[in-house]
Amino acid sequence: MNPSIKSQAVDQAGKSVVASAISYLLIKWGMDAELVIILMPAIVVLLAFISSKIGDPTIASFFSGNVVTETEASDSV
């Protein structure tokens, strides 16, 4: 597997774990579920922005121009 694809998968999985934990805590602390659902896109974008600043910008695929296409992914397998 291409190391770039593996790094992107780890990055995306890490952000999804953090986003899930944030949503769980917000609901646990009494915030309305509807409001949490409305806030989630902003939280995910914020996590992607933070990821591009603290890590390798080419791996944080949301803001990177270096997104791996499906063809590139299948070629590396």
Residue 9 CB-half CA count within 13 A? 7
What pLDDT does 68 receive?
52
- Tokens read off for 44: 């995910």
- Tokens read off for 38: 């409305």
How far apart, in whole angstroms, are the C-alpha atoms of residue 27 and residue 5? 33
* Domain boundary assignment for the chain: 3-58
> pTM score > 0.75 for this model?
no
Give me the tens of pLDDT residue by residue for the chain, a chain 77 residues long: 667 677 777 888 888 899 999 999 999 999 999 999 999 999 988 988 888 788 766 666 555 555 555 555 555 55
What pLDDT does 59 receive?
66
